Amino acid sequence: MLYAILCYNDEDIVWSWSQEEDQAVMAKLGVVHERLIKAGKMGPSLRLLPTTSATTLRKSADPPLVIDGPFAETKEQLLGFYVIEVADLDEALEVARELAGANPGGAYEIRPVALYNPERRDGAAV
């Protein structure tokens, strides 16, 4: 079963991390990632730029309205996500707990994936 783990946190805090703090968190997360990759459970994962870089297309208007900023003003923002392949919700929660141990604060939302298009653009610059 494919699950998405959506990472929510206060971006004021996350983007206040020093480079060293960021690297320390990434190193800890790396251990979890490595284990998931070896077990063949790790799908794509990504980190988003801050919501200040977001633009929203409001489809309620015709033609759609382009608005600066994220879709919703929230205390915790969607900062990135993982896609993992696990047996069931229990195992997905287990992965989320491991990730939480490496990266405290905020919340992980675990959502089953309904449709998955794995085609990817190779060599895309990030």
Partner 1 sequence: MSERAWIDVALTAARPQALSALLRYFRDLDTAEEAFQEACLRALKTWPQTGPPRDPKAWLILVGRNAALDGVRRRGRQAPLPPEETLSDLEDAETALAERLDGAHYRDDVLRLLFMCCHPDLPDTQQIALALRIVSGLSVKQIARAFLVSEAAMEQRITRAKARIAQAQVPFETPSAAERGERLAAVTAMTYLLFTAGYGAGERSARAELCGEAIRLARLLLRLFQTEPEIMGLAALMLLQHARSAARFDAVGEIVLLEDQDRGLWDDKLIAEGLALLDKAMRHQAPGPYQIQAAIAALHARAARPDDTDWAEIEALYAALERTTPSPVVTLNRAVAVDKVKGAAVALEMIEPLAPRLSAYFHFFGVKGALLLRLGRQAEAREAFDQAIALAATPAEAAHIRLRLDRLRRESAPEPA
Residue whose pair of structure tokens reads 């992980």 in the numeric block: 108
Q: What angle do CA 121, 5, 11 make, to 5 degrees?
A: 90
Q: Which of 39, 49, 57, 61 binds partner 1 (CB under 8 A)?
A: 49
Contact 91, 5 (CB under 8 A): no
Q: What angle do CA 26, 29, 30 make, to 5 degrees?
A: 80
**What binding mask, one character per residue, do residues 63-92 give for partner 1 by CB under 8 A, x or -?**
---xxxx-----x-----------------
Q: Which of 1, 17, 35, 94 binds partner 1 (CB under 8 A)?
A: 17
Using CB under 8 A, list all residues that contact partner 1.
10, 12-13, 15-18, 21, 24-25, 49-53, 55, 66-69, 75, 104-105, 126
